[in-house]
Structure 1
Amino acid sequence: MTSDTVDTALQASARDAVRRERTAFRADDGRVLEATWFRPRSPGAGRVLIAPAMATPAAFYAAFATWLAGRGMTVLTFDYRGTTATPSELRRETADLLTWAGDAAAALEHLLDDAPAGDHTPVVWIGHSFGGQVLPFVRHDLLDSAVLVATGNGHYHHNPAWLRRRAPLLWRGIVPLTTAAAGYFPGRRLGLGDLPTRVARQWGRWCMHPEYWGADVRDIAARHALITHPVTLVSTSDDPLVMPSGPAALARALSNAPVSVVDLSPDQLSVDSIGHHGLFRRGLAHAWEAVFAPHLPHAVMATTRAQA
């Protein structure tokens, strides 16, 4: 039996052991947001919230969430408001990035509200790109650890050269013009995803500011300093949006957290490319054990060894 056959069999077994449920929760302004539970047949290893990248639907993380749940983790995925909206809905959407941070904070509380009384299993935040950048805006006292993938200080100087050259035109020209004309940012045509107007414009302001979040959040340094749980920063050598200096700047900002850095290349994972989203794609499921398990609760690792 080949390793690919074994991987496929293990993934099928994990899917069979996971129950998927639709749910909803209220953000702090009363907005009802949709989410999905991935419940293991034998829970108890811990709880995980997957905070998505910008313009990336929660459904994108379903295979990864199933893998986690197959190892005993109770997992919640959610969408920021407007993520799956139609153009007409996006034109009416008033959310900005800080609204989305509040959506993520409410999702974390929903994750814990569901826990049975006396449940003290570890709680892990897995943030992808923007989903890692919102960590200082949630109740990190509720967390035991965080794994942030393709996440860093988003100032455009931390972008690769091709994007760095285009950033001023994008953020100071294209975004203001297109949002004024369309009523939202039609970024799908540029490979960025459609966004509400206020999200796109605030993102541009942050990207052009050396402190990124500091463009609007004056106490961002203090917020980062309050994070004391372990944080793992996972980056890839072929990320088209984030250079290593971005995660390095974030690591410095997390001045009171134990930070570990994992740098990956496609060669290490025996693939042609990883990119900004690749680590969560089903095609890289064979790498999840090596990449993520060492940074998850030990109970997950023990379950994984027992199933191998």
Structure 2
Amino acid sequence: MITPLSRSLDNGNGHSLSSHWYRPPGDARGAVLIVPAMGVEQRFYEAFARWLAEHGYLAVTFDYVGMGLSRNGSLRALDVDVIGWGRHDCSVMLDAVVEAAGELPVYWIGHSLGGQILPFVQGSERIRRAFTIATGSGYWRENTRSLRHKAWLLWYCVAPLVTPLAGYFPGRRLGMVGDLPRGVIRQWRRWCLNPEYSVGAEGAEVRAAYSAVRTPITSISFTDDEMMSRRNTESLHGFYRSAPQTAKRIAPQDIGAKRIGHFGFFRNQFADSLWTGYLLPDLG
């Protein structure tokens, strides 16, 4: 079994990032940065990263500042937002992966938030191809029907009431998303209440940042995603106006499965179907 190398990096903003590097047993064919979803720790992607390494890719996982192994001290004292995660954490991680890759191609695999955050990352032009997995706008009125009432409760009641009291969002105790820094939950809330999500909430600068991305994007989404509707997915990817795009929308029955959902892609049970059939052909 491939044993990852643990590595701590300075995010350039006074914080350290925890990362794990999964190196292939032989010569590498490329390098892959796995960028996590909101509230999801890097350990969730461990099986996927090992599989990539076994297939010849240097695979790298990490936790955003304030999350998982990059959580150092109380979240109450942490001043960070989602854009900061992109500008600092993701940019530093991408720099490190590019340096390690040398002349080899570098790929970005972003789960949910990991596919939304790309416009805020410095050096994204060095990415050969970005894969967005279960990525879409978080605008609550376009969420799936099953999530919509929970989203209303979160954004209009729970988050604005609990965050000021706790000094951060104590999602782990509430069974919602996970613990998040107050700057992250507040910014994310503004986005999810706006029909144009981050672009509408932040204005012209962010709209231009999305339009400036020219990295080819492969979007992989799922018909049974309990969070992201087709409209969510199409809306978010519509902001990437200059990027060549390929969309793959998959139903569980397409691969003989009962369920995939928002998180299923990264589970080991889909190695021979989703990973091999829908991802591997597009990796150089």
Moved more, 270-279 or 234-243: 270-279
Q: Which amino acid aligns with 1:210?
A: P
Task: State yes or no: 1:267 paired with 2:253.
Answer: yes
1:151 aligns with 2:138: no
Please say which structure displays the higher CA radius of gyration.
1
Could you tell me which residue of structure 2 aligns to residue 129 of structure 1? Answer: 112
Cα contact 2:42–2:68 (8 A) shared by 1:
no
Q: What's the counterpart of residue 10 of structure 1?
A: none
Aligned equivalents of 1:219, 1:153: Cα separation in 2:
18
In structure 1, give the amino acid aligned to 2:43: A
Q: How does 1:280-299 map to 2 (within 5 A)?
A: 280-287=266-273, 288-297=275-284
| Residues 186 and 30 of structure 1, relative CA distance in 2, 3 Å threshold | closer
Q: Note the alpha carbon deviations across 1:268-287, whole angstroms, 9 max, x for none.
A: 22222111111001222232
Q: Alpha carbon RMSD of aligned pairs, Å? A: 1.8
Distance in 2 of aligned mates of 1:229 and 1:218? 20
Question: 2:105 & 2:97 partners in 1: Cα distance?
Answer: 12
Residue 233 in structure 1 maps to residue 219 in structure 2: yes
Counterpart CA distance in 1 for 2:124 and 2:114 is: 14
**Share of identical aligned residues, percent?**
37
The CA distance in 1 between the partners of 2:202 and 2:158, in whole Å, is: 21
Q: How much has 1:44 moved relative to structure 2?
A: 2.8
Q: Number of matched residues?
A: 278
Correspondences of 1:201-240 after superposition (within 5 Å) = 201-214=186-199, 215-240=201-226
Segments of 4+ moved more than 4 angstroms: 85-88
d(CA) in 2 for partners of 1:46, 1:178:
44
Please list every run of 5 or more consecutive structure 1 residues that lacks an aligned counterpart in the other structure.
1-14, 298-308
Q: Aligned to 1:112, which of 64, 73, 98? A: 98
Corresponding residue for 1:165?
A: 149
- Change in Cα spacing, 1:217 to 1:269, as seen in structure 2 (3 Å) is same
- Do the aligned partners of 1:25 and 1:32 also contact (CA within 8 Å) in 2? yes
Is the CA contact 1:43–1:74 (under 8 Å) kept in the aligned structure 2?
no
Tell me the distance in 2 between the aligned counterparts of 1:231 and 1:31: 30
The one-character-per-residue Cα deviations of 1:235-261 (angstroms, maximum 9, x if unpaired) are 111111100112211232221111011
- State the alpha-carbon separation in 1 of the partners of residues 85 and 77 from structure 2: 16
Segments of 5+ residues of structure 2 without an aligned counterpart are none
Name the aligned partner's letter for residue 140 of structure 2.
Y
For 1:122-163, what per-residue CA distance to the aligned partner results, in whole angstroms no more than 9, with x for missing partners? 110000000110011112111111000011122223201232
Residue 60 to residue 106, structure 1, CA distance change in 2 (3 Å): same
| Alignment check: 8 A CA contact 1:171 1:201 kept | no
Shift of 1:217: 4.9
Separation (CA, whole Å) in 2 of partners of 1:192 and 1:53? 10
Displacement of 1:19 in angstroms is: 4.2
Instruction: Kindly state the Cα deviation for residue 88 of structure 1 after the two structures are TM-superposed.
Output: 6.4
Matching residue's letter, 1:66: R
With over 3 angstroms needed to count, the CA separation of the structure-2 counterparts of 1:161 and 1:154, relative to structure 1, is same
Q: Say which of 142, 156, 178 aligns to 1:193.
A: 178
Q: What SS does the aligned partner of 2:109 have?
A: strand
2:56 is the alignment partner of 1:83: no
Equivalence map 1:236-255=2 (5 Å): 236-255=222-241
